[in-house]
Amino acid sequence: MIVQRRLFFVCIVLSFSFTSQAFAGPPFKTDDPQPVDYLHWEFYIASMQQFQTHETDATYPHIEVNYGVVPNVQLHIIAPLGYIHSVGGTHYGYSTTEFGVKYRFVQETGTVPQIGVFPLIEIPTGNENEQLGSGNVQVYIPAWAQKSWGKLTSYAGGGYWYNPGTGEKNFFFTGWEAQYDFSEVVTFGGELFYQTADSLNSESSAGFDFGGYINLTENHHILFSLGHSLSGESTTTGYIGYQLTI
């Protein structure tokens, strides 16, 4: 992810819970193909919140670490403390651990976008009985493309979720994002996304986000977002986080 794009966000996300979804490219759901630079790090401490009529989910907080292990390859991990409040009770504890590898195999040129893949695996390290995880390993295989024109950048893509379990369904996610660097400090943008039903009792959903980044310095960044669903169950979501790049 590009260090110069980080800040304020308005986020609206899908209708499936934080305990069973990938966290993706903060603070957007849509990701990009650009890995962390070789031998560089990204550290996040952040919170994601999701509010529905019958349930509230959040990470309070989660830690994300990305590392450029070789040129064009990034290692990724998210370790979250999860919170859920529903008719089944209120629970707080360690939730699903996410691992991933981002690999960019096409470099951007004047006419060609950069392209990469970012497979993720969700490990059920949380207590399923307390709704702090799905209880099953989940896998996401997406591809992403990105192109920049001066201060304007856009990226898009999507992929397939392997989502096993009783009553669950495999599903597809796709998204498109565009953002503009208004200065070296502020970037603002928005996204649209869509996913098919992820369970037998759910339906396809769509949403949008608006938001961006504030670069406090070259190494310190603030990210935040707020949003709502366009279809499916009415869902309001938010993100606030701090990022250190070294």
Residue identified by tokens 């790090």 is 41
Domains of the chain by residue range = 9-245
pLDDT in tens, 151-164: 999 999 999 999 99
Residue 225 pLDDT level (bands cut at 50, 70, 90): confident
Q: State how far the Cα of 102 lies from the Cα of 72, in Å rounded to an integer.
A: 8
Q: State how far the Cα of 144 lies from the Cα of 147, in Å rounded to an integer.
A: 11
Cβ neighbours for 160, distance < 8 A, ≥ 6 positions apart: 140, 141, 142, 170, 171, 172
Q: What is the pLDDT of residue 24?
A: 53
Q: Which long-range contacts (CB under 8 A, 24 or more apart) does 178-181 make?
A: 178/152, 178/153, 178/154, 179/5, 179/152, 179/153, 179/154, 179/212, 180/151, 180/152, 180/153, 181/4, 181/5, 181/151, 181/152, 181/153
Q: State how far the Cα of 246 lies from the Cα of 172, in Å rounded to an integer.
A: 34
Average pLDDT over residues 230-236: 91
Cβ neighbours for 182, distance < 8 A, ≥ 6 positions apart: 151, 188
pLDDT of residue 187 exceeding 80, the answer is yes
Average pLDDT over residues 6-30: 49
pLDDT in tens, 53-103: 889 999 999 999 999 999 999 999 999 999 999 888 999 999 999 999 999
Q: What is the pLDDT of residue 10?
A: 31
Instruction: For residue 178, give the amino acid letter.
Output: A
Closest CA to 16 of 159, 157, 124, 163: 163
Predicted TM-score (pTM) of this structure: 0.87
Q: State how far the Cα of 111 lies from the Cα of 68, in Å rounded to an integer.
A: 26
Four-way CATH pick for 9-245: 1.10.730.10, 2.40.160.40, 2.60.410.10, 2.40.50.140:
2.40.160.40
Residue 177 contacts residue 156 (beta carbons within 8 Å): yes
Q: State how far the Cα of 120 lies from the Cα of 143, in Å rounded to an integer.
A: 11
